Structure 1
């Protein structure tokens, strides 16, 4: 871990914020020091600055750091102005009501999948994907749906950032396997997750594209092998793509206009 040299203090501070956020709970200085690439004095100075600026909160009784109120406020503003979630909300509600299954909305974030909204199934199932979580692009339906419609050079850059860890026996564990899958997705217009990230979890996903073909997100209907099949999810692919197109049309006219 560590900021690029050109990023200076700001990059280092963002690294520290990432560490605190990644802990998922209040974290002590010693824990951060163990995973930090920065010297003890540098890390302490960065933590002090972030705390003074309200980006982190310090609990003197427990001696722990957690994300601060100012950061939460900035995150909410980003969600409202840069996320597809506010635009997509009524369309997600409609698709959720029709299918009774889990609906995910995602965007690409630095080569990974950022889940920005979710609707639970009528009978919810515990799964990795939750709003605010970041997941791998190469083995999720929404990730592959977005990757397939990026320019080839952009796909190559994203592929270089993938771990190709085998989460299950179905995971596409090499660039060659992923490329073959992406070509198939481009041909049919939608993607599947065939238990590639989590055992028993399957989905059908479609990209959210502007009129010019720019990828701005993806949408999926997710279920379990105990409840349905890939073929059954494929049967609603048209409805998923229709919903994705509606979200794209509204997003393009409101917050994501094409630049001339």
Structure 2
């Protein structure tokens, strides 16, 4: 379906435009957005005007560029506080980081992709893609696979349809069939690996954060490098990660988290 036929109507179109602006990572001109947009010029201009009037975007009159508005900052902060595991998990992430000296990631699913909602850097920090607030692929990250493995069938199908299966490294699981086989193994052992699947030299052990009903509310991982440790060594930490994940899940049970697939 083309963008002009967005099933969610005007709201869906407006969110598409916000996503376009956000993907640029910098202020962007109307002409650049028009090149990427499937909307007619008049429709795109109208949507930009509405979003600007509502404070969701800002327009710099000197440069003629659009950027995300401060109203989004307020909404993002409210979402982080109300719908994210991060406030609950903060002391547990601190505890795990102190114990291991490695990088700790907390993530949730967002439309079939991984949204990193919090992070603790290693005692000796390593540059890597995953940062709080970033969205990454689910099929080739430890936290992503840990969550996918515990989705109900219908939700899993929806999430799989959103995976690109791009091969980032020689270790990336680049097909639906390979991923499904891996997810079955994750369900049996209770934790997931990232075997340099998203970034060369980056490895992790991840576990799902499950509700009492077995719903994947998020995932927790310990991440390191092949220069510093091995998958086998990270695997010895899996019971401790599961213990921390269970504590986060127990506290989260009293919260009402939106379903995110």
* TM-score of the superposed pair, with normalisation by structure 1: 0.96
Q: CA deviation at 1:8?
A: 1.5
How far, CA to CA, are the matches of 2:76 and 2:3 in structure 1?
22
Does residue 173 in structure 1 map to residue 174 in structure 2? yes
| 1:129-140 equivalences in 2 (<5 Å) | 129-140=130-141
Query: Runs (4+) of structure 1 moved beyond 6 Å?
Result: none
Tell me how large the CA RMSD over aligned residues is: 1.5
State the partner residue of 1:243.
244
State the partner residue of 2:120.
119
Q: CA deviation at 1:257?
A: 10
Q: Is the 8 A contact 2:83 2:258 kept in 1?
A: no
* Cα distance change of structure 1 residues 214 and 27 upon mapping to structure 2, 3 Å threshold: same
Q: Which secondary structure state, in structure 2, belongs to the residue aligned with residue 254 of structure 1?
A: coil
65-74 or 248-257: which moved more? 248-257
* Cα distance change of structure 1 residues 3 and 91 upon mapping to structure 2, 3 Å threshold: farther
1:89-134 Cα offsets, whole Å, 9 max, x none, are: 0000000110101100000111111111111011111111111111
Higher relative contact order by CA 8 Å / sep ≥ 6: 1 or 2? 2
Q: CA deviation at 1:4?
A: 4.9
Size of the alignment, in residue pairs? 258
Q: Which secondary structure state, in structure 2, belongs to the residue aligned with residue 92 of structure 1?
A: helix
Does residue 51 in structure 1 map to residue 52 in structure 2? yes
How far, CA to CA, are the matches of 1:256 and 1:52 in structure 2?
30
Q: CA deviation at 1:223?
A: 0.4
Q: Is the 8 A contact 1:3 1:11 kept in 2?
A: no
Q: Which secondary structure state, in structure 1, belongs to the residue aligned with residue 123 of structure 2?
A: coil
* TM-score of the superposed pair, with normalisation by structure 2: 0.96
How far, CA to CA, are the matches of 1:16 and 1:209 in structure 2?
34
Q: CA deviation at 1:252?
A: 0.6
How far, CA to CA, are the matches of 1:39 and 1:256 in structure 2?
37
Question: 5+ residue gaps in structure 2?
Answer: none
1:156-212 Cα offsets, whole Å, 9 max, x none, are: 221121111100000011111111111111011000000000000000000000111
Q: Is the 8 A contact 1:203 1:230 kept in 2?
A: yes
1:197-230 Cα offsets, whole Å, 9 max, x none, are: 0000000000000111011000000000000000
Q: CA deviation at 1:145?
A: 0.3
